[in-house]
Structure 1
C-alpha cells in the first residue's frame, strides 16, 4: 500500500471518468455505487431510523443525492430532497436517478427550513463542479441549516470550496464527513477546505486511477498517508544508517541545534554530530550524550565536516545567527554538493539577495520556511496565488525542494511535484517544533539508502511523522516531547526484513 495518494484535480477526475465510460464502464452504475456508499456511511454513523434532508444540485452531484435519498427511504428513514432549480430539468443519469427516487422533493429553501437538530443533511449540491460564488443570502441559509443539523455528510467535497485549490469560494458547508470517489482531490488535504471536510472516506466505485493513468493525466500532487518504513537489516550499521550533522549557533542559542540533533537521532540516523563554534562546545557537550560534538569555527570547517565520505548531510539555520557568517557557511556547504536542510537563519540571511542562494544550489537542498520566511525569501513569487502555485514557483525558481510549513505542509520540487501533509495538530504551534521537524527531515535523509526515499519524499514523510508525534502527545506539548514519541511511532509504521525481503 503506497504511502502517497494521488490527488486529482476536477478536470483530471472528469477526464478519467469520461475515458472509463467511453471504454464501456457504466456511468449510471457508478452513480448508483456512489450514492449507495454515501447512504451506507449515513446509516453507519446514525443509529436507528432518522430524518434526512438531501440538498440536491442541478448536476451529477445532485444525481448522487437522489440515490442517497432513495436508499435512506428504503431503510425506513423520513427523507425529503431540497432541489436546487427545477428537478425536471435534470439530464442524463441525474434525471434517471430523480425518477427512480419518487419521494418528496421540495424547493431548496423549503428543504433548508425543514432541517431540525436531529436532521441528517446530505450535501449533494455541487461537489467538484463548484465554480461560481453563491449569493450571500442563500449561502448563509445553507450554512445555518448545516450548523443546526445533527450530522452533515458531503458528497465528494463540501459545497462552497474549490476542489483544486482548497479555497473557500462561498462559506456554506462544514461537513462532519465527506465521501469521495475514485481518488482524493486537493481540497481534501489543503486548508481551509480540509477543515470543512471532516472525516474523508474514499470509495473506489471502480474509478480509482491506476499508476499508468496517474502518469497519463499528469497528476503531480500527492497526499502523504501513513508511511511504511523498513527497519534496519542485518547488514546495517551506524554509518549505513547515516552520519548527519547539525550546525550550532553561539553559546546563547544552542538549544535549537540540540533539539534538531535529538530528532535526527530518534528518527533513526545512525550517527548525529553537532558542529559547534568553539565558544559553544562546552555548553553543547554538557547537554548531550549520544549526540557527538565537534569544533567547527567557520565556513571551511563546517564544509570539512561534510567532506568525510561517511557524512550524509547537514542542517544549518536553527539558532545559527543571521548575517554574513551564516551566508558564507551556507555557500561553503552548498559547494560540497552533499544534502542540506536549510531552515530559519539560513533562509533569513539571504532575504536581501536570494539569487546568491539559488544560484549556489547544486545538490539535494530542502528549504523549510514558515509563511513569513517564505514571503520574504520568495518575494518574487505572486503572494496572491494559491499555496500550491506559490510552492511550485519557489521550487522552480530556486532549484531546491521547498517545504512550506503550516497546518497543511506542502513540499514542492523543481520539476513541479507536490506532496501535501495534513496529518498534524495545532499543538505543534510551539517554539522549537520547527527545529524538530528540520532534524527529522535530516535524519530521514541520512537513511535514504535504507528507506528508499528521495529527498522530497523524506521531507514529506518527516512532516507526517512530526504531525503524528504532535497528535499522540496532544495538549501540553513542548518541542522536547516530540523526538521522544518517535520510537513508538516507528514501531507502528515499521516493516521488517526477512530472508525473503521486506514485509
Structure 2
C-alpha cells in the first residue's frame, strides 16, 4: 500500500481516537526509529539530530532522547521555532531535558565535521509549500557533506503527494517510512532522494488501512503471480502456449522488432510470428531461425491473415515508422485481435488526432508510451505534476491499460487501479529496452491466462528484474539474455 498525505492523516486521526492519546503514537514512531538506527550505528559515533518545527521534528526529539538513553553520542538541533506549545511536538521537546542547539550552531558544527551521521527530522509528509531560503541553504550544505543521512518518514523537501522537490531536498542514504510508503517515496525524483526505504511498523492498526480506499500498489510478484501466471506445463504444446504476432519494422529498423520477438519467445510463448513485407522478409529469415515469418504486401492480404489466424496477441509499433499505413494497420489489428500492445511509432502516428486512437482501444488493449510519446497523445495532461494522477486520467481517457514508462514506470487501468514499478535501474535508459518490454508484455498477455493489467505489471517487473542482473554497460540484448534466469528465480520463489 502506498498513501498520499491526506490518506495517511485520516488513518492517523482514527488511530488517535482509538488510543485517546495522540502523543503515544509519536512516542512509538520515535522509539521504533531509534531502535533501528541504534542497531546500525556504533555508539562511539556522534549523531546529529536535526529537527523542524512540526510533528516530524517531534519524532526527532523522541529519537534523540531514546538514542541518548541507549548510550549514543547525540547533538540535537532545532532549525526553526516550534509552532504550537499545545501540540505533541512541543510535548516531545519539553520531555528532552537535554541541550538543544539552533541553526547557527548547526552551521558551525557542519563546518567542523567531515563525514557526519545525520538524522533528518526537519519536515515530513506535512510539507505543503516550498522551503525557506535558510532551510534550502542548509540542505545544500548537508548534501555537499560526505554524510550518512537517515531521513524520518520522507526526506525534507520532497512532497509526499507527488515526489516533487519543494525547493531543495535532502539526499538520504536511508529513509525510515512510518507505517507505509508514501507516493513521494516511489515517484521520481523523490525515489532518488529517498535512498533505501525501510518501512517501520509504528503501532497503527492494520485494519485502519481500509479508510484510505486506496488502489495504488507497489509492483511485486505477490500482486500477480497467483493470477494465472503462464508457467509452462508438462502437458502443454506450442500452440497452447499462445500465438503472438509482431508487425515487422521498416528495413533499416528490423532490430526493433527482432528485440521484441526474441523477448516474447524467451518469456515462454509457443509461437512468435513476424509479419514482414517483400523488402524485409529475407532479412528476418537470415537473422532469427526460431521465428515464424509471414509475408504480407497488401491491406487485403493483411485482413485475410487477421481474419483467419488464431492470434492470441499482437504487437505493433517497434520500428514500423510514423505514417498513415501504421495508423491503418493499428486499426485493423485492434478490430480483429483481442489482446493488442501498441508501442513506439504506432503511438506517435496518432499524434495529430489522438481521438482516432482512443476510439479503437478497450480494456484488452495496452499502450506503452514514454514521456515524449505520452505528451504527444495526451497534450492536455502535459502540465499535471503528479504522475499517478496523470496516468489515471490518461487510462480513463483512452479506456485502456496504460504503461507510462520511465524511472518510475506506472501501470494504470481505466477503473483507477495503479501499480508503480520501484525496481528499475538507470541502466535501462538505453536504445531498444522499450522494444524488449513490449515483447515481454505481448508474450504474457498472449497466453490468455492473465488479464492485460496483470500481464502489464508482470512484464514491467520482469523487464526491470532481468536488467538489474547487469551492473554497468547494459544493452537491450542483455535483458533478453537474462529473461530465462529471471523466470527461473521467479519460479523458485513463487511457483
Task: Give TM-score, length-normalised by structure 1.
Answer: 0.90
295-304 or 315-324, which moves further after superposition?
Answer: 295-304
Q: Structure 1 stretch 252-261 or stretch 131-140: which is displaced more?
A: 131-140
| Structure 1 position 238, deviation (Å) | 3.0
- Work out whether residues 315 and 438 of structure 2, in 8 Å CA contact, stay in contact via their aligned partners in 1: yes
Distance 2:309 2:97 in 1: 73
Residue 410 of structure 2 aligns with which residue?
410
Deviation at 1:483, TM superposition (A): 0.8
Question: Could you list the runs of 5+ residues in structure 1 that have no partner in the other structure?
Answer: 1-5, 497-501
Q: Distance in 2 between matches of 1:103 and 1:88?
A: 20
SS in 1 for 2:280: helix
2:53 to 58, 62, 66: 58
**Partner residue in 2 for 1:319:** 319
After superposition, the Cα gap between the structure-2 partners of 1:260 and 1:304, relative to the gap in structure 1 and judged at 3 Å, is farther
SS of alignment partner, residue 431 of structure 2: coil
How many residues were matched structurally? 488
Q: In 1, Cα distance between the equivalents of 2:269 and 2:43?
A: 52
Name the CA distance, whole Å, in 2 between partners of 1:208 and 1:288: 56
Mark the CA change 1:109 to 1:138 in structure 2 (over 3 Å): closer, same or farther: farther
Partner residue, 1:232: 232
Q: Is the 8 A contact 2:16 2:25 kept in 1?
A: no
CA distance in 1, matches of 2:243, 2:290: 13
The TM-score, its normalising length taken from structure 2, stands at 0.91
Partner of 2:191: 194
Q: Does 1:73 align with 2:68?
A: yes
Alignment CA distance shift 1:474-1:85 (3 Å): closer
Distance 1:266 1:317 in 2: 19
Equivalent position of 2:157 in the other structure: 160
- 1:219 has 2:214 as partner: yes
Indicate conservation of the 8 Å contact 1:82/1:109, yes or no. no
Relative to structure 1, the CA distance from residue 236 to residue 31 in structure 2 (aligned partners, 3 Å threshold; closer, same or farther) is farther
SS of equivalent residue, structure 2 residue 476: coil
2:88 corresponds in structure 1 to 93
Q: How big is each residue's C-alpha offset from its partner over 1:15-40, in whole Å with a ceiling of 9 and x where there is no partner?
A: 01111232337643432332223223
Structure 2 equivalent of residue 136 of structure 1:
133
Cα deviations across residues 148-206 of structure 1 (Å, max 9, x unaligned)? 25311001110111101111012031100000121111111101111000000011223
Secondary structure of 1:414 counterpart: coil
Counterpart residue number, 1:474: 471
Report deviation, 1:43: 2.8
Shift of 1:137: 3.5
Alignment CA distance shift 1:363-1:8 (3 Å): closer
Deviations 1:366-396 (A, max 9, x none): 1111111111122232435432232222222
- Name the structure 1 match of 2:285: 285
Q: Distance in 2 between matches of 1:326 and 1:140?
A: 52
| Contact kept? 1:306, 1:313, Cα under 8 Å | no
C-alpha displacement of 1:361: 1.6
Q: Tell me if structure 1 keeps the 8 A contact 2:52–2:122.
A: yes
Corresponding residue number in structure 1 for 2:427: 427
Alignment RMSD: 2.4
- Which residue of structure 2 lines up, in the alignment, with residue 335 of structure 1? 335
SS for the counterpart of 1:279 is: coil
Task: Name 1:205's counterpart in structure 2.
Answer: 202
Q: CA deviation at 1:58?
A: 2.0
Paired position in structure 1 for 2:29: 34
Secondary structure, aligned partner of 1:494: helix
Name the SS for the 1:314 alignment partner.
strand
**Relative to structure 1, is the Cα distance of residues 427 and 291 closer, same or farther in structure 2, using a 3 angstrom cutoff?**
same
